[in-house]
Structure 1
Amino acid sequence: MGSFREKNGKLEYRFSFKDPYGKVIRKSVTGYSEEECLGKYEAFMKSVASPVSEKSDGTTIPMLLKEVLNNDFNKNYIQESTYSLYLGILEIIESGSLKTTPITDVTGDSLEQFLMSLTDCYADSVIQKVHRHLKATMDTAVERKIIKSNPMNASDFRRPKSSKKTLDVKAFTKEEHKLFMTVLEEYKVPRGRNNYKKQILIEIYSGLRMGEINALTPECIDFKNNVIHVRSTISHGIENRAYVKDGAKTYEGSREVPISKKLKPILEQALEEMTDNQLGFIFYDNNKDDVISTKQVNNFFRRVVAKAGLPMRGQHALRHTFATRCIEAGVSAEVLRKWLGHKNIHITLDTYADVFNSLHNESIERFETRLKVKETLFEYVAA
């Protein structure tokens, strides 16, 4: 029970109660008599009693997650590329032990066991996404009063880490870069297959994402101002369908990237060889009468890498190679951020931390060389 006290000419009844999640809440009601205060107290307690029934209607985590995803997609809160990515996460959840278990029967232990089952199969980035969607779905179940509390919010619930080694997409070293360019130039494309050499050269000389390159139109190439206007990209949609997304990957992705002397003749040749297509793209798959996906170029890139005898890596290594050569040439992190279309400079610094760090010794040597020159001049003048 609570206690009474006088307050501003009225009686105040102060009491404590536990909410449905076990948290102790303190509250007070006021009236002109004890009977009035106790009446308000009883009415309040009746209003908060058993707000969550936890009566199972058979709803499972995958069912609720799919409903939320469909709702967000239909209301344009997420785009097709994001929706497709999230459906992939949904498939992972559906493939496990949580597929048929009603949410009311899901426990913290069962959630941890499911996440642990992923540690040998998926990278840590995937497990993070699965964990995030599971937590959000359980929170939704609480909001809808299907369950009283989310066990994933407990202080001792921790996401397990993947046991798979994280594979970094590394840039080409200077020696690898030279070898790759030689093999690319000499590589003979089989008859009837698409030639993606120019897209690869554009990426290595501009740092554009491959989806951005495949979405270029002649209007994007501004030789007057010597820049490429990046305004759209080829993205992955439902069932891995490649489609044109207006706007770049991020807000910062819409940008102007300078055209270097190495890049200009490649763009000029690409414009000359451009064929008519319904979308007006510089690069287009005439064999399929469709846009060119990043996967198509990546398969071509891998064949060239294998021909060169280089360690296998993804085509995104070309973008990292561009950035690495820029850093080695003294391009500042902020300028590089704008060229690459990174959201903030921290992404640039974190992604290429090793490259920036590797230049410290060279910078010290240049500094010491500069000091020696000054000392020599001073000594000569003094003499």
Structure 2
Amino acid sequence: MAKRRGKGEGCISKRKDKNGKVVGWCAVTTGGINPKTGKTKQVLLYGKTREEVQEKLIKALAEKQAGVFVEPSKLKVGDWLDKWLNDRMKNHLRPTTWDSYKYLIDTHIKPAICNLQLKNLTSTHPHDLYNAKIAGGRSDGAGGLSSRTVRYIHTVIHAALKQAVREGLLAQNVVDNVVIPKQHKKEMRVLTREETERFLTAIENDRLYAAFLLDLTSGLRVGELLALRWKDVDLKEGIIHVRRGLVKIRNQEGETKTKTAFHEPKSKQGKRDIPIPEDVVKELRAHRARQNQEKLLLGQEYQDNDLVFCTVDGKPIEPRNFTRTFHRMIKKAGIPHANLHALRHTYATRLLEANEHPKVVQELLGHSQISMTLDTYSHVGMDLKRKAAEKLAGLVKEKAW
């Protein structure tokens, strides 16, 4: 009795046209996983003769045994990246993440390797791509990309190729062993106490004074600040409830390329409650009174979105416009080289300098892990280090001479 073939060992049969004429031979074996069904895919191997097909089948089975089998395909890298992003990841990524992936693929990855057949991709290709981007990869031609951006490009390529391996389109992920650029830690900008006073003086008559003051005393991210609703603010208890953020996403249908949208935080730690000082509560009350006056003046033209900080007609403030206002005020205050994120950094730094426990600071900032907080604010003053050293005073007995 003939031995029955095992699953995946393949079978060979004749290929016939519609008239029943034999036009070739075909072998069937198994390949990767079908992403839609979750089941193993069938792979067809064609040839003019039985011997030709049998040779292909034997080779395929040997490659599968060795873990290097790749399904026959002329699929190009660019086509696979599009398919992976649109068909595999569209429903699994936040809109902002999907947009950033698409930008990196269209702007930096596809122009370099889109026409290369996926099965011919080697570790040399991404390695050369990373080096080229570091040397001069900015889309505006003004120099190279940061190591952080190149690492992000690597993350996208690695994820796309990992799925290709799972589906049997590649034998291995060729970027697994590619050396990626080290990420250089940017020097963090924290406002000094004197700069903080100058900044607050410069903005005291600005319509958005309360927004900058709250940012400085709560450590909110810009998107969280601009998405804040009055129902998220407990003025009686002096607590801010962070429940969402304002983001820019690609506009798929409208006339403009991008649009603003509100989204929940990325992690559960992002949803948090932040106590604020009493003087900030007072300023928020005054801000709300001024906002109510704007509503009365505009009447029905005012778009009431319950936003704490909005345009004069109630619409969400574009993050870019808010940043421009900040830079204008920083210049007015005579403070050099500071971006809007410096307010959040200043908030966290002052807490740590006041000996607040890092775990509390992590929760207030909405960091997913305490290691992120400790790493980000490892700069916190030499004075704290000296105080730590002074705790050991008297541990070593004075030597008698």
| Residues 1:158 and 2:179 are matched in the alignment | yes
| Residues 1:126 and 2:144 are matched in the alignment | no
Letter aligned with residue 217 of structure 1: R
| Residues 1:64 and 2:80 are matched in the alignment | yes
Letter aligned with residue 151 of structure 1: V
Structure 2: gaps spanning 5 or more residues: 1-30, 32-56, 136-143, 251-256, 296-301, 395-401
Q: How far apart in 2 are the matches of 1:334 and 1:147?
A: 44
Structure 1: gaps spanning 5 or more residues: 1-19, 21-43, 190-194, 372-383
Q: Is the 8 A contact 1:277 1:284 kept in 2?
A: no
Residue 237 of structure 1 is matched in structure 2 by: 249
Residue 117 of structure 1 is matched in structure 2 by: 132
Q: Any idea what the Cα deviations from partners look like across 1:10-39, whole Å, max 9, x if unmatched? A: xxxxxxxxxx9xxxxxxxxxxxxxxxxxxx
Structure 2 matches for 1:231-380, cutoff 5 A? 231-238=243-250, 239-245=257-263, 247-274=264-291, 275=295, 276-286=302-312, 290-355=315-380, 358-362=383-387
- Rate the CA distance shift 1:103–1:360 in 2: closer, same or farther, 3 A: same
Q: How far apart in 2 are the matches of 1:366 and 1:47?
A: 69
Compute the TM-score of the two structures, normalised by the length of structure 2: 0.70
**What is the deviation of 1:249?**
4.2
Residue 122 of structure 2 is matched in structure 1 by: 107
Q: Is the 8 A contact 2:359 2:370 kept in 1?
A: yes
Q: Is the 8 A contact 1:171 1:318 kept in 2?
A: yes
Which secondary structure does the structure 1 equivalent of 2:157 belong to?
A: helix
Which secondary structure does the structure 2 equivalent of 1:63 belong to?
A: helix
Structure 2 matches for 1:40-55, cutoff 5 A? 48-50=61-63, 52-53=69-70, 55=72
| Residues 1:78 and 2:104 are matched in the alignment | no
Q: How far apart in 1 are the matches of 2:134 and 2:383?
A: 33
Q: Any idea what the Cα deviations from partners look like across 1:338-363, whole Å, max 9, x if unmatched? A: 21111122222111111165412245
Compute the TM-score of the two structures, normalised by the length of structure 1: 0.73
Letter aligned with residue 121 of structure 2: V
Residue 178 (structure 1) aligned to one of 197, 205, 211:
197
Q: How far apart in 1 are the matches of 2:220 and 2:195?
A: 20
Residue 217 of structure 1 is matched in structure 2 by: 229
Letter aligned with residue 63 of structure 1: D
Residue 168 (structure 1) aligned to one of 187, 191, 198:
187
**What is the deviation of 1:311?**
1.8
| Residues 1:145 and 2:162 are matched in the alignment | no
Q: Is the 8 A contact 1:65 1:90 kept in 2?
A: yes
**What is the deviation of 1:78?**
1.2
Percent pairwise identity:
24
- Rate the CA distance shift 1:45–1:356 in 2: closer, same or farther, 3 A: farther
Residue 35 of structure 1 is matched in structure 2 by: none
Q: Is the 8 A contact 2:267 2:368 kept in 1?
A: yes
Q: Is the 8 A contact 2:238 2:278 kept in 1?
A: no
Which secondary structure does the structure 2 equivalent of 1:119 belong to?
A: helix
Q: How far apart in 2 are the matches of 1:47 and 1:90?
A: 32
**What is the deviation of 1:227?**
0.9
Give the number of equivalent residue pairs: 313
